[in-house]
Amino acid sequence: MTPTRPGTLLALAVICAAAAWLIVRETFAGLAPLPWSAVPALLLLALGETVAGRNLKARIAGRRAGKPLQPIAVARTAALAKASSAAAAVLGGLAAGFLIYVLGQLQKEVPRADAYAAGATVGAAALLVAAALYLERCCRSPRPPGDEDTPSGDRQADWR
């Protein structure tokens, strides 16, 4: 499994923002007000992934006592981090597309309230992306001591 690339997440967000803007442009009059419920959910997920990453990093480094970590548990945590960063990029992109559309109508009350909700959703989604990337980074195993002597491009040395 390769690390998540920020460029991939950015591309997901941009594509979803463009799609959301196109859809909202055609259907805004018939849409219900944008709910705020996504903001606390995304923030709680970001907090949970940050705490999990901190604990996982300490356990992998041996600074925290407890049962030994199973490799499959760490792999599943990395998969969760990859999935949540992608989902947050999609949700943030959708909210950004909505926000871009309503920014031109801030003098009206309903689009202004939707702009606040969409902006908060974009911010919460960005925090979740950052927390998920942190959790994914915490799943990496540390280099063994004395590994500084081997050149980084030597594939044979990496397998020893």
Q: Is residue 52 part of a domain?
A: yes
Q: Is residue 112 part of a domain?
A: yes
Residue type, 14: V
Domain containing residue 111: 36-142
Residue type, 96: A
Higher-confidence position of 32 and 151 = 32
Number of domains in the chain: 1
Provide the pLDDT for residue 160. Answer: 43
Q: Is residue 72 part of a domain?
A: yes
pTM: 0.84
pLDDT tens readout for residues 59-90: 888 777 777 788 899 999 999 999 999 999 99
Q: Sign of torsion, CA 91 74 148 65?
A: positive
Q: Is residue 12 part of a domain?
A: no
Interaxial angle between packed helices 109-138 and 38-61, expressed in degrees from 0 to 180 and rounded to the nearest 10: 10
Q: Is residue 105 part of a domain?
A: yes
pLDDT tens readout for residues 10-19: 999 999 999 9
Task: Give the closest residue to 136 by CA, choosing from 128, 125, 148.
Answer: 128
pLDDT tens readout for residues 24-37: 999 988 888 888 99
